[in-house]
Structure 1
Amino acid sequence: MNWLLVVLGAVVGAPLRYLTDRAVQARHDSVFPWGTFVVNVTGCLILGLLTGAASAGAASPHLQLLLGTGLCGALTTYSTFSYETLRLTETGAGLYAAANVVASLVAGLGAAFAGVAIAQAVWA
């Protein structure tokens, strides 16, 4: 039955990723992959919130499977991040590629830590 929770979360996460990516990228006239950046940082925030809630006893293992593994697993994308960074480098936009790596790492970790802190403030 656990696999069904993962599938249900992914059914929401995958189209949400695609639609968010397209909507964000359409609003920016830049080679920087803003859409992928936004979905990945958002996923880090959600996982941080979920982790903080779970450590406070406010999130069940079923919710972790649904939102953490299913939704966030389909929402976030390390492969697209890697591909877009490689493409930036290949097209001579090395500064954008470096900025993508650094900003994604800093913002992703920051969002995860913020999510945990928010959840602990709410449920602790």
Structure 2
Amino acid sequence: MRSLLFVFIGGGAGSVLRYLLSVGTQRFWMVKTFPLGTFLANIIGCFLIGVLVSALVKSDLHLRLLLITGFCGGFTTFSAFSVESVSLWQSGQFTVLAIYILLSVILGLAAVWLGQSIVKW
């Protein structure tokens, strides 16, 4: 039961931060065809999970549940990424869709690698 509480608290915090990031990017970036808030949450989340996985490998289980499973799980938005990708497809915005998918996957993988490399360094 205690483990669920850690996941719950971390997930709530991650979700709130993702929401604030999304609202913030909509205020400051006027391009409405590219889902920048979700994109940034995915890239930042990938970097953060790379750092945390490397830094907390042998750490306390509850800390891993709070930060990796909870916070990163709540903050990253792969389900939102998927539904936005389908929406871009359905609206015929194939170029934006291709750029969004390619950048999300390539930069996401690079961010995880960078996060792990920084911890190892």
TM-score by length of 2: 0.92
Q: Structure 2: which amino acid aligns with 1:101? A: I
Q: Distance in 2 between matches of 1:119 and 1:63?
A: 17
* Residue matched to 2:49: 47
* Residue matched to 2:39: 37
Report % sequence identity. 37
* Residue matched to 1:102: 102
Q: Distance in 2 between matches of 1:116 and 1:93?
A: 34
Give the SS at the match of 1:29: coil
Q: Distance in 2 between matches of 1:15 and 1:53?
A: 24
Q: Distance in 2 between matches of 1:85 and 1:22?
A: 19
Q: Distance in 2 between matches of 1:16 and 1:106?
A: 23
For structure 2, which runs of at least 5 residues remain unmatched after alignment? none
State the 1:20 CA deviation: 0.5
RMSD (Å) for aligned C-alpha atoms: 1.2
Q: Deviations over 1:25-57 (max 9, x none)?
A: 3322220111000001111111000111134x4
State the 1:107 CA deviation: 0.8
Give the SS at the match of 2:34: coil
* Residue matched to 1:22: 23
Q: Distance in 1 between matches of 2:27 and 2:42?
A: 17
* Residue matched to 2:14: 13
Q: Structure 2: which amino acid aligns with 1:97? A: L
Write out the 4+ residue segments of structure 1 that deviate beyond 4 Å after TM superposition.
none
State the 1:67 CA deviation: 0.6
Q: How does 1:64-79 map to 2 (within 5 A)?
A: 64-79=64-79
* Residue matched to 1:62: 62
State the 1:87 CA deviation: 1.1
Q: Structure 2: which amino acid aligns with 1:26? A: R
Q: Distance in 2 between matches of 1:41 and 1:26?
A: 20
For structure 1, which runs of at least 5 residues remain unmatched after alignment? none
Q: Structure 1: which amino acid aligns with 2:25? A: V
Q: Distance in 1 between matches of 2:60 and 2:49?
A: 14
